[in-house]
Amino acid sequence: MRIVRRFCGSSVGKKVIMSLTGIGLACFLVIHLLGNSSIYFGPSAFNNYAAHLHEFDPFLKVFEVGLLLLFLIHIGFGVSLFIHNLAARPSRYTVKKSSGGRTLGSATMLYTGLIVLAFIIYHFMSVAFAPHSSAIADVIRTQLQALPTAILYIVGIAALLVHLSHGLWSLWQSVGGSHPAYDTLLRRGALGFALVIGAVFISFPVLALMWDEFLR
């Protein structure tokens, strides 16, 4: 028990836990993206997908609780790591100067993470508490065809893209899987993955704004 507590309290332990929960959350994103891609096949396909999802209801509840736990652990350890780094600021400054290589993603992890969190809370509340009488395709169309909500989705997903582009690279360092020989490959792989996820998710609000027949 003491070993676990010491591991969770160390900066390395926090990073490993953030990496593992981050991988879990990235897997959810891929599943969510694949499901949402049914939007491209029209409103009936999207409504059918959502209806099928709810056929697995007891299992879905367990999945949702698991997902919530992953989010809470990831956020909790993220905040704790941020505070830990703040406390170690003078030494961190020295490392930063000598190692260089700060990217937009690494410099903004906390802020992009907070934007994604705000977006998820809004998004979850808006779909979970949508009127039961409305088809999910109508709920999403109404949201994405309103300029303020479409912008909110675009900003939230753009922040997710930047967050993922750094997180998916840095996790390899945390779990000891990085090597200078393939560091560029890992960086490009993380960026490529983030760009694909971001581009497909962003295509929905963009399409909804540009095309009146979206999900009709």
Instruction: Catalog residues that contact ligand HEM under the rule CB under 6 A.
Output: 32, 36, 50, 53, 64, 116, 120, 123-124, 127, 136, 140, 153, 157, 160, 201, 204-205
Residue 87: enclosing H or E segment and its boundaries?
helix 57-87
Residue with smaller CB distance to ligand HEM, 57 or 212 = 57
In angstroms, the first-to-last Cα distance of the chain is: 56
In degrees and rounded to multiples of 5, residue 56 shows phi and psi of -95, 30
- Minimum CB–partner distance for residue 53 and ligand HEM (Å): 5
- Minimum CB–partner distance for residue 139 and ligand HEM (Å): 7
- Minimum CB–partner distance for residue 136 and ligand HEM (Å): 5
Residue with smaller CB distance to ligand HEM, 8 or 67 = 67
Residue with smaller CB distance to ligand HEM, 6 or 32 = 32
- Give the separation between CA 180 and CA 60, rounded to whole angstroms: 41
Decide if 159 contacts 116 (C-beta within 8 A): yes
- Minimum CB–partner distance for residue 54 and ligand HEM (Å): 6
Position closest to ligand HEM via CB: 204
- Minimum CB–partner distance for residue 21 and ligand HEM (Å): 14
How far is C-alpha 122 from the geometric centre of its chain's CA atoms?
14
Residue with smaller CB distance to ligand HEM, 36 or 108 = 36
- Minimum CB–partner distance for residue 83 and ligand HEM (Å): 24
List, as one string, the DSSP characters of 154-202.
Answer: HHHHHHHHHHHHHHHHHHHHHTT---GGGHHHHHHHHHHHHHHHHHHHH
Of 72, 64, 61, 60, residue with least CA distance to 21: 72
Decide if 215 contacts 43 (C-beta within 8 A): yes
Decide if 202 contacts 162 (C-beta within 8 A): no
Residue with smaller CB distance to ligand HEM, 8 or 158 = 158
Residue with smaller CB distance to ligand HEM, 88 or 147 = 147
Decide if 47 contacts 39 (C-beta within 8 A): no
